[in-house]
């Protein structure tokens, strides 16, 4: 953070300038990000209609792509210490071979037109699983209605990556209705309080000198971001990667400890490492061995890397710790987009790929 009396960084001044935000963010992504806590509270009330006709399943599969799949990653991470049932996030067509009777399949597509999620829903019907849809409509919503399958109807009008609250919190209710343990209300309440505080701390009105997300974006600069998580935050690192790629339109890398210590660490060599910036996603509940590995990683790559930053989770419960880092990544990717002079909302190349596939 900047020191009192220090020279003004023109890059920081640009991130603080409302005129720059107005020009580069005409559709108002900053406002949507600021309303994320309210979205999470609203999403808590969303339930499948009709109810899920199921006792505890032997397997849960969350099938989706892109921003619609992240809810499955977070579900597995935040409830993994309580569940004795595997939770798989399936990104692709069809379903894993293990899916069959006794499996709960949640097909998630914010738009409802993601072909892979529609394929998974159809495969679930053929396999005799219990299947439900989480969507704002589209082909997936119509398919669920045709088969009278449970449907969580989401509010529309957002890119999937900005609908994380809607795509995640209903999953907690679905698992609870299926008799599976989920974070208790106190843990959920803490998570919401943490993101509400962060909405103020990380929003555009907070100056770069006191705003962790702006500070991280400035530290990364023009270097390639490489986000590393631990055993709990590995899924969060992947979310940082995808947010940076969609919002800032720049390649990013994600990995997790301890795995990267066994392979990827060799790639951190000069001079290539000088073009990379590592962001270490630290968790206050991380295992001491993971903490030691993070410290060693910083010591090893620090002398050759273009830069190394650390970001720490907030809160006590798993859900707060996960959501706080995800939310920080969303805001950091937003400021990286502004710093690069690009609109964080528009995804023209992605839309062109979808258009060609439809054709």
* pLDDT, average across residues 121-127: 96
pLDDT in tens, 94-116: 999 999 999 999 999 999 999 99
Confidence at residue 7, expressed as pLDDT on a 0 to 100 scale: 56
List the structure tokens of 291: 């903490």
Structural domains of the chain sorted by starting position, each given as residue range(s) with its CATH number in brackets:
10-25+190-340 (3.40.50.10490), 38-182 (3.40.50.10490)
90, pLDDT greater than 90: yes
* pLDDT, average across residues 311-324: 96
Q: List active site positions.
A: 246, 262, 354
Return the closest-CA partner of residue 112 out of 169, 59, 55, 158.
158
Residue 5 CB neighbour total at 10 angstroms: 5
Return d(Cα 10, Cα 25) in angstroms, integer: 19
Please spell the DSSP secondary structure of 268-293, one letter per residue.
--TTGGGGEEEEEEE-TT--HHHHHH
pLDDT in tens, 257-284: 999 999 999 999 999 999 999 999 999 8
List the structure tokens of 294: 């993070």
Rg (CA), the chain: 20
Confidence at residue 298, expressed as pLDDT on a 0 to 100 scale: 97
Residues in the chain, how many?
Answer: 359
Q: Is the peptide bond before 268 cis (omega within 30 degrees of 0)?
A: no
Please give the angle made by the CA atoms of 94, 346 and 67, to the nearest 5 degrees: 30
* pLDDT, average across residues 64-92: 89
**Across the chain, what does the average pLDDT equal?**
93
Confidence at residue 53, expressed as pLDDT on a 0 to 100 scale: 67
Return the closest-CA partner of residue 61 out of 207, 148, 175, 228.
175
Confidence at residue 180, expressed as pLDDT on a 0 to 100 scale: 87
* pLDDT, average across residues 242-250: 97
4, pLDDT greater than 70: no
Return the closest-CA partner of residue 188 out of 336, 59, 20, 44.
44
Helices marked H in 112-233: 115-127, 138-146, 164-177, 185-202, 212-220
256, pLDDT greater than 50: yes
pLDDT in tens, 175-213: 988 888 889 999 999 999 999 999 999 999 999 999 999
List the structure tokens of 162: 């900005």
List the structure tokens of 210: 């006191």
| Separation in Å, CA 91 to CA 98, 99, 107, 108, 206 | 15, 14, 10, 10, 37
DSSP reduced 3-state for 181: coil
Residue 292 CB partners (closer than 8 Å, separation 6+): none
Confidence at residue 300, expressed as pLDDT on a 0 to 100 scale: 97
**If pLDDT is split at 50, 70 and 90, which confidence band does 217 have?**
very high
Confidence at residue 325, expressed as pLDDT on a 0 to 100 scale: 98
Claim: this prediction has a pTM higher than 0.75: yes
224, pLDDT greater than 60: yes
Q: Is the peptide bond before 65 cis (omega within 30 degrees of 0)?
A: no
Confidence at residue 78, expressed as pLDDT on a 0 to 100 scale: 85
List the structure tokens of 313: 């989770």
How far is CA 21 from its chain centroid?
A: 23
Return d(Cα 259, Cα 280) in angstroms, integer: 14
* pLDDT, average across residues 284-312: 96
**If pLDDT is split at 50, 70 and 90, which confidence band does 44 have?**
very high
Q: Which of 6-15, 61-70, 149-158, 324-333 has the lowest mean pLDDT?
A: 6-15
């Amino acid at each position: 953070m900047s020191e009192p009396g220090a020279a003004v960084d023109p890059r920081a001044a640009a991130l603080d300038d409302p005129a720059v935000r107005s020009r580069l963010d005409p559709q108002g992504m900053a406002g949507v990000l600021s309303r994320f806590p309210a979205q999470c509270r609203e999403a808590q009330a969303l339930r499948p209609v009709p109810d899920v006709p199921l006792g505890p399943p032997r397997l849960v599969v969350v099938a989706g792509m892109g921003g619609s799949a992240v809810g499955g990653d977070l579900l597995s991470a935040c409830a993994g210490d309580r569940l004795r049932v595997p939770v798989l996030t399936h990104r692709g067509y069809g379903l894993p071979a293990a899916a069959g009777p006794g499996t709960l399949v949640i097909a998630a597509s914010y738009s409802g037109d993601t072909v892979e999620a529609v394929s998974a829903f159809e495969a679930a019907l053929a396999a005799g699983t219990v299947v439900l849809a989480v969507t704002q409509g589209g082909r997936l919503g119509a398919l669920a209605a045709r088969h009278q399958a449970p449907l969580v109807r989401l509010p529309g009008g957002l890119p999937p990556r900005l609908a994380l609250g809607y795509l995640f919190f209903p999953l907690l209710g679905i698992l609870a209705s299926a008799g599976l343990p989920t974070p208790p209300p106190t843990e959920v309440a803490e998570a919401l309080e943490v993101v509400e505080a962060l909405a103020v701390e990380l929003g555009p009105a907070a100056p770069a000198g006191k705003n962790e997300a702006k500070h991280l974006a400035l530290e990364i600069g023009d270097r390639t971001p490489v986000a590393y998580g631990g055993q709990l935050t590995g899924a969060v690192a992947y979310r940082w990667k995808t947010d940076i790629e969609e919002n800032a339109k720049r390649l990013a890398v994600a990995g997790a400890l301890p795995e990267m210590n066994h392979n990827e660490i060799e790639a951190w060599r000069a001079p290539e490492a000088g073009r990379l910036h590592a962001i270490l996603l630290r968790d206050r509940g991380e295992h001491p061995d993971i903490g030691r590995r993070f410290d060693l990683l910083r010591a090893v790559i620090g002398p050759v890397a273009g830069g190394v930053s650390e970001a720490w989770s907030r809160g006590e419960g798993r859900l707060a710790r996960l959501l706080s880092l995800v939310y920080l990544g969303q805001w950091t990717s937003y400021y990286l987009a502004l710093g690069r002079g690009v609109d964080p909302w528009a995804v023209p190349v992605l839309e062109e790929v979808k258009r060609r596939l439809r054709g």
